[in-house]
Amino acid sequence: MDMEKSRQQLIGRLTENYADYRAELLLKDRQELIDGADRIAKTAEVFQYFTQHQPTEQEVSYFLKFQNPLEVAADHWENCEFELDALGAVMADTADKAADLTLYPLSADAPTHKPDGLQKFVDVDLETILPQIMAQKTAFHQKDLSYALDEMREGFAREDPAKRNFVVIFRQSGVDCLNERDMLIAGTRSYNICQYYHRHTREPVLAYSVELTGDGPNGLRGNLYQQDQHQIAVFAERAASPYTDVTVAFYSGKTVRVPEKEYNYETIPNLKYHYGDILDARNEADDESVVQGALHREHERRERMPKGHIAVHVQELEEARIQTEADRLAAALQSLTEPNTPDKTHFMAEVSPYFLPLASHDNMHRLFEKVRDQVKQPIYIAPVEGANGQYIFMRREERAQEQPSKPSIKEQLAAKPAPGDQPAAKSKNREVR
């Protein structure tokens, strides 16, 4: 690699290091930022040095050895004891520090980055696409999506940007619509639901961040960002600020701020009695700057996600739904050791009650073929008398013919010899020497 390419590689790595560093700063509270002001300034100076001055060949070669060259350089600049502005001299001297190679992670040891496969979908017709996504996951309580869309329309009508960003979670029995800002305030409903799907359920869900961009004659539109339910919950738990108060706005124009523990179904009637009907209620954090910093970091992250095609994504969801159910049914049939139908003549496995309500005739046909290809035996689908649902059946004889059992060595030794299978007689004629 020529030197110019090496310089560009170093600048690229430093830029990525600096972006991550700034993102971490957004999660710190005001006191931490004050205490770390000197380090923040030193880091900015180092980044400016490398991006505005041409580093030497020795510096490029040395700093490329590290996963985080910005941290290495900033440490040396911060620890410089000379009372002079000689950052260039410090960087040149640092390039001779062999001890650094044992103190900092090296780029050669960095794990290979594997894309998580998450995509963003820009300018989507939400009233068309969200029902299509729901049809690949949510079998029951589908009306929840109507409530979610109503909440989005109401949010877009507000001037507050916090009302225009949501996280929608599709599960087998229902849809949850969470306010993105509230999800970063520990103790709110949105935060608690997000943590529930991370800690207390094994059900895989479909989660998307929704950024509203318009609501007009063509319907509600916005950008969709795929989310990993566990990653976003871990981020929210680490970045959230505590829930403290609720700011209540009334149609009369009056605004009241009350402690969050005092805002509930028992106290709301009293507030209405004094101030009239409630126009809006905004959850407040202990430190709003922490919440805004976390939101900024999350928005920067998702903007870097690759663009996808929403129609292709929906097709992939359908294929994954069918394949997952086929794998489950095939594994269930293959794990049976004895027939389990009432008359003990067939092996059977029930099609999931969460799959059936979403399955078209074509879905059922594809499911049948996938299961048959996996078990490699003739099967059929039918209901069971006296029970709801559909079952896949495989005959006992067909299962028995899969692999004839081979007798063990002990059984072979204990078996009686077959007629005509006599052992050879020992010869009585021996040669006399």
The pLDDT profile of the chain, 433 residues, written as one tens digit per residue, is 578 888 888 888 888 888 778 877 766 778 888 888 999 998 998 899 888 888 888 888 888 888 898 998 888 888 876 655 577 777 777 777 767 777 777 777 766 555 568 999 999 999 999 999 999 999 999 999 999 999 999 999 987 888 999 999 999 999 999 999 999 999 999 999 999 999 998 889 999 999 999 987 778 999 999 999 999 999 999 889 999 999 999 999 999 999 999 999 999 999 999 999 999 999 999 999 889 988 988 998 898 899 999 999 999 999 999 999 999 999 999 999 999 998 899 999 999 999 999 999 999 999 999 999 999 999 999 998 888 899 999 987 665 555 555 565 555 555 555 555 454 444 444 444 3
Spatial distance between the Cα atoms of 11 and 59, rounded to a whole number of angstroms: 12
Tally: H helices and E strands in the chain: 17, 12
Looking at residue 103, what is its pLDDT? 77
Determine contact, residues 223/121, Cβ cutoff 8 Å: yes
Spatial distance between the Cα atoms of 177 and 170, rounded to a whole number of angstroms: 9
Looking at residue 166, what is its pLDDT? 97
Looking at residue 405, what is its pLDDT? 54
Looking at residue 402, what is its pLDDT? 53
DSSP β-ladder status, 391-395 and 346-350 = antiparallel
Looking at residue 97, what is its pLDDT? 72
Looking at residue 8, what is its pLDDT? 87
Looking at residue 411, what is its pLDDT? 59
Looking at residue 428, what is its pLDDT? 44
Spatial distance between the Cα atoms of 281 and 265, rounded to a whole number of angstroms: 13
Looking at residue 13, what is its pLDDT? 87
183-220: b or e for each residue (b if 16 or more CB lie within 10 Å)? bbbbbbebbebbbebbeeeeeebbbbbbbbeebeeeeb
Looking at residue 409, what is its pLDDT? 57
- Please, what's the largest Cα pairwise distance for the chain? 130
Looking at residue 426, what is its pLDDT? 44
Residue 166: which of 214, 224, 219, 247 has the closest Cα? 224
* Angle at CA of residue 249, ends 216 and 26, nearest 5°: 80
